Structure 1
Amino acid sequence: MYACLSKYLRTVLLLVISALLVVACNRIDLAYRNLDMLVPWSLNDYLSMNRQQKTWLNERLKQQLAWHCRTQLPGYLTWIDEIQAMVASNAITDQQLQVRTEEARQAIAKVADQITPSAAELLRSMDDEQVREMREAFADDIRERQAKYVNTPLARQIERRAERMEKRLSTWLGELSPQQRLRVMTWSQGLGEQNRQWIANRAHWQAQFSAAMEQRHSDSFEPRLEILLKKRESLWTPEYRIAFQRTEQEARRLLVDVMAQSSEQQRQHLEQKLAQVRQSFSELKCLKG
């Protein structure tokens, strides 16, 4: 449940583009009401909170969700309208996708900016045992990802990456054509061993977060947390920075090509999915209020 919910926000913000990255939850209204954290990572995955901390977090989340629905969701509706117009005109270009991606980044940054003070307050309340458990959870996370995404033959990594992409694209377009599946495989082959840089960078970020937690009672903690949550790119490893730029570029190229190869039926399927997402948002009680 928590994994689906933490992916949900990114799906909302990146909608079509994030079809390359995540799978949307089926019940948007339910997911939104139960969203566990409005950040690109889930505290619940790594921190074991006591009853008092959970109660505090639940109350604070109510406030954050009310702010998010009142001030951010209207902009998402406009964003979806722009995506729908792109699909309807059947003219999705690399330039358009860059604009939509930057808009999504800005939306994520606004959320990160809003929740950072609350995150700092919660993290300061963690005791040494909770921080130790967090470090162990980080280590387990990296081991699991290494086993799943790196410690397999490269040919198998490429095959699995293509399978995941096909599944994600099919969520929005329906069944892919042989030509589209071939393009997905070519995309996956071109990325090579990018999994290695991705996981190494993830471990690098986690190590810096753990170091910051050792200073959670100092005045320097919240400024450091702001960098960790709001300016994550500034902390990337040089290898990952290069890999990310290339991966993002190749993802846009893939989407442009797949849409250029799309059938009328697939575009109708995508328009229907977008319309469903928009309707689900527009019917949220908090938005109407």
Structure 2
Amino acid sequence: MSRWFKQIAALLIFTLALGACSRVGLAYRNLDVIIPWTLGDYVDMNGEQKDWFNERLKGHLSWHCTTQLPGYLDWLDRLQAMVERNQITDAALQERTAEAKQAIAETAREITPSAIELLQGLDDKQVAEMNDAFAKDLRKRQQEYLKPPLAQQIKERGERMEKRLNDWLGPLSDTQKQRVAAWSNALGDQNTQWIANRAHWQQQFSAAVAQRQSPQFPQRIETLLVNREQLWTADYRKAYANTEAQARALFVDLMAESTPQQRERLLKKIEGVRKDFNDLKCLKAAHKS
């Protein structure tokens, strides 16, 4: 899968609450996290295409800010209430994750017509450059996530999660650190399935773009962007289900072991995300109208 869904691809509650949100300001301005619309990272657009792209981008951002952000604030309210009551359960996390998936799908569906129009206007040189960028992206991720021995992959995954958690909860206790290590170990060679599925998605995307003037092209792109789970490999489908379950179990256990100070820090972080959203000019304009 491309960077369009980089921060929320796994759709784990940690990625949503502890990962994507920590970059709300920059992410929202660049549409890197909130709106899956960074085709410009893979295609060198000409001047006319850039002008068209920027105009569409403004429209999508305005739509997203006025129609979708209020729902994000409600989502944060529900997350905050869970933390305040210290009632973090697997069932509640499944609800929050389902809500996040629905929000992502709505945004992807909204921007898909623009993606189709842009892709149909690419020339052969631009398509070749896009495919080269996909290949470069894949090689980089294989080098970073697959080349190290499995034990090192597990160790580094745990370290990345611990670093993220330190930002949102503060220093972890020894028991919490051990739980993070157990979580990473339980995911095993998940990197293999993730990278393989990424390659699978890129191959299908490239094949679709090669036939961008065909009558089937719009439907194909919509499937790739909105209903991408339909195209997952069987191995990744299993790995993804395990990843979600392991993340929920981790969050439940960490919060059960959390201190009042850690929960207070998390609540302040969530409140900071809310402030980032509320400070956006487009949201303020929507409230006034």
Question: What one-letter code is carried by the residue in structure 2 that aligns with 1:266?
Answer: Q
1:46 alignment partner in structure 2: 42
Report Cα offsets for 1:68-98 as digits up to 9, x if no partner.
Answer: 1111111111110010000000010000000
Matched, 1:62 2:58: yes
1:215 alignment partner in structure 2: 211
1:105 alignment partner in structure 2: 101
Q: Distance in 2 between matches of 1:241 and 1:29?
A: 32
Query: Contact 2:12–2:247 at 8 Å: present in 1 too?
Result: no
Spell out the pairing of 1:1-289 with structure 2 (5 A cutoff): 10=8, 17-18=14-15, 22=19, 24-26=21-23, 28-35=24-31, 39-40=35-36, 42-289=38-285
Query: Displacement, 1:188?
Result: 0.7
Give the percent of matched residue pairs that are identical in Structure 1 and Structure 2.
57
Question: What one-letter code is carried by the residue in structure 2 that aligns with 1:177?
Answer: S
Query: Displacement, 1:139?
Result: 1.1
Q: Distance in 1 between matches of 2:274 and 2:38?
A: 25
Q: Distance in 2 between matches of 1:41 and 1:197?
A: 24
Equivalences, count: 282
Q: Which has the higher contact order (CA 8 A, sep 6+)?
A: 2
Structure 2 CA distance for partners of 1:261 and 1:166, relative to 1, 3 Å:
same
Report Cα offsets for 1:244-263 as digits up to 9, x if no partner.
Answer: 10111001101111111111
Report Cα offsets for 1:15-52 as digits up to 9, x if no partner.
Answer: 953168845445x3454233258544631222121121
Question: What one-letter code is carried by the residue in structure 2 that aligns with 1:35?
Answer: L
CA RMSD of aligned residues (A): 2.1
Gaps of at least 5 residues in structure 1 are: none
Structure 2 CA distance for partners of 1:7 and 1:214, relative to 1, 3 Å:
closer
Structure 2 CA distance for partners of 1:7 and 1:246, relative to 1, 3 Å:
closer
Structure 2 CA distance for partners of 1:273 and 1:20, relative to 1, 3 Å:
closer
Q: Distance in 1 between matches of 2:129 and 2:89?
A: 46
Q: Distance in 2 between matches of 1:283 and 1:20?
A: 19
Tell me the TM-score normalised to structure 1 length: 0.91
Q: Distance in 2 between matches of 1:15 and 1:71?
A: 24
Report Cα offsets for 1:131-179 as digits up to 9, x if no partner.
Answer: 1111111111111111111111111001100011111122211111111
Q: Distance in 2 between matches of 1:15 and 1:281?
A: 21
Structure 2 CA distance for partners of 1:38 and 1:24, relative to 1, 3 Å:
closer
Query: Displacement, 1:65?
Result: 0.7
Tell me the TM-score normalised to structure 2 length: 0.91
Query: Contact 1:25–1:31 at 8 Å: present in 2 too?
Result: no
Q: Distance in 2 between matches of 1:285 and 1:79?
A: 20
